[in-house]
Amino acid sequence: MNVPYAGGMDVRTDYLQEIRLFRSMAAKCWFALLLVVLLVIPAVVEGYLVYLLALAAVHIIIAIGLNLLIGYTGQISLGHAGFMAIGAYASSLLMLKLQFPFLLAFPVAGLIAGLFGLLLGFPALRLTGPYLAIATLGFGIAVAQVLVKWDSLSGGSIGIHPPKPSFGPFILSGETHLYYLAIVMMLFMTIGAANLMRSKIGRAFIAIRDSDIAATAMGVNLTLYKTLAFAVSAFYAGIGGSLFAHLVGFISPESFNLLVSIQFLSMIVIGGLASILGSILGAILLTALPYFLSGIKNLPMVIYGACLILVVMFEPHGLRGRWGKIRLYWRLWPF
């Protein structure tokens, strides 16, 4: 009945099974255990690891957003650092200049980034593949340059110190507080993405990826869903950017350069396209990797690049695909 095939995927036998978020009691238990582990981590590990985990959570949010756009909808973005920058600066500046409380600035920053995503989505309607890649590349760099030039607003290349976020009188200062904030947001956004992909909208995204002309023929409104994919993806990047700003405590246009966009692209490719689990794995791996490699001179770039090439050549489904194969191997063992 449950016949797995090469990808390690399983066949679902009815629609309810297909759209269920947790597919078993065991899944719920694992999830509860994960929550407990995430909760107690700051008490057991050192501060910088807590910080690194919080950074990984931020990267996960952005990677999932990017995967919604690239992996699920089949569009491409080489400018996600731009959306991240918009989120980071919007939330910091709303708090600094307009004295917005964090609780308001944070979602507004995401929405502003989402709005820019929507705007970029319109030209994207006419562009495919490489043209879209160049357009988004240009967008990402243009955002950084505008931030450098518009220094009366953004502080220019000197950068700004985002204020510490607070909930009413309660100020989130240490990394532990920010860690909990990042983790909660990460869980929230992950479940949000999973739910989105189970809905009509998610199905429309996938239909567009598989063939936009066929999707139109089936009644999917291309204009609506393509721009929506950009907006949602940019919203994720904006939320991530806002968290990033408050977590790192210092942002400058340099923090959002082309390499950052490429890094997020690498995360989802190495982790696995069109997979939320893949985004998570890729984000964790590439957040941790530089700190394992920082002792090796010059080699990080080479290793990083070689990983990208090798994954595309030999493991097109990324870590997630490999994980599926390993599972399959053990499930079928010793056959």
Partner 1 sequence: MHISHPARRTSDLALFKAMLAQLIVSGLATGSLYALLALGLVIVYKTSNVLNFAQGEMAMVSTFVAFTFLETLQMPYLWAFLLAIVASFLFGAAIEVALLRPATNPTPLGLIIVTLGVQQVLYGAAGWIWGYDTKTFPSPLSDTKIYRLGRVVLSEVNLWILTASIILMVALLLFFRYTRVGVAMRAISQNPTTARLMGTRTPWVLSLTWAIASVLGAVAGMLIAPITFLDPNMMLNPLLKAFAAATLGGMNSLAGAVVGGGSLGILENLVGGYLTPELKDSVAFFVIILVLCLRPSGLMGRHYRRRV
Partner 2 sequence: MKRADRTGRPTRTVGLLICCLLVGLGGVNSLFAAEVGITDTTIKLGTYQPISGPLAPYAVLGRTIEAYFKMVNDRGGIHGRKINLLIRDDGYNPANTRVVVRELVERDKVFAFVGGLGTPTGLAIMDYLNDHKVPHVSPASGYSGWAHPPKRYLFAQSTNYAVESRLLTKYAAEQLKAKKIAVFYQNDPFGKEGLDGVTDMAKRKVLPLIATVSYERTDTDYASHAIKLLRSGADTVLLWSSSKPTAALLKEAAKIGYKPKWLSSLVNLDPVMFKLAGETWEGTIVASSYTLYSSPEAEPYRQFMRKYLPNEPVGGFSVGGYAMAEIMTEALRRAGRDLTREKLVQALETFKDWNGVMAYNITWGPNRRQGQNSIFFTKAEKREFVKTSDWLSLD
Report the interface residues with partner 2, using CB under 8 A.
1-2, 4, 10, 13, 17, 20-24, 26-27, 30-31, 33-34, 37-38, 41, 44-49, 51-53, 55, 148, 156-159, 161, 194, 244, 248-252, 254-255, 276-277, 280-281, 284, 288, 290-291, 294, 297-298, 300-301, 323, 327, 331
Complex with partner 2: residue 20 or 200, whichever CB lies closer: 20
Q: Does the footprint of partner 1 cover residue 196 (CB under 8 A)?
A: no
Residue 38's binding partner out of partner 1, partner 2, none, with CB under 5 to 8 Å set by partner kind: partner 2
Complex with partner 1: residue 76 or 84, whichever CB lies closer: 76
Give the footprint of partner 1 on residues 210-239 (CB under 8 A): 211, 213-214
Q: Does the footprint of partner 1 cover residue 280 (CB under 8 A)?
A: no
Give the footprint of partner 1 on residues 126-185 (CB under 8 A): 126-131, 133-135, 137-139, 141-142, 145-146, 149
Residue 70's binding partner out of partner 1, partner 2, none, with CB under 5 to 8 Å set by partner kind: partner 1
Residue 23's binding partner out of partner 2, partner 1, none, with CB under 5 to 8 Å set by partner kind: partner 2
Residue 157's binding partner out of partner 2, partner 1, none, with CB under 5 to 8 Å set by partner kind: partner 2
Say how many residues touch partner 1, by CB under 8 A: 46
The interface mask with partner 1, positions 33-72, x = CB under 8 A, is -------------------------------------x--
Which 3-state string (H, E, C) describes the chain?
CCCCCCCCCCCCCCHHHHHCCCCCHHHHHHHHHHHHHHHHHHHHCCHHHHHHHHHHHHHHHHHHHHHHHHHHCCCCCCCHHHHHHHHHHHHHHHHHHHCCCHHHHHHHHHHHHHHHHHHHHHHHHHCCHHHHHHHHHHHHHHHHHHHHHCHHHHCHHHCECCCCCEECCEECCCHHHHHHHHHHHHHHHHHHHHHHHHCHHHHHHHHHHHCHHHHHHCCCCHHHHHHHHHHHHHHHHHHHHHHHHHHHCCECHHHHCHHHHHHHHHHHHHHCCCCHHHHHHHHHHHHHHHHHHCCCCCHHHHHHHHHHHHHHHHCCCHHHHHHHHHHHHHHHCCC
Here the tokens at position 83 are 């959306």
Residue 27's binding partner out of partner 1, partner 2, none, with CB under 5 to 8 Å set by partner kind: partner 2
Q: How far apart are CA 159 and CA 296, in angstroms?
A: 29
Give the binding site for partner 1 (CB under 8 A): 70, 76, 123, 126-131, 133-135, 137-139, 141-142, 145-146, 149, 211, 213-214, 258, 262, 265-266, 269, 273, 297-309, 312-314, 316
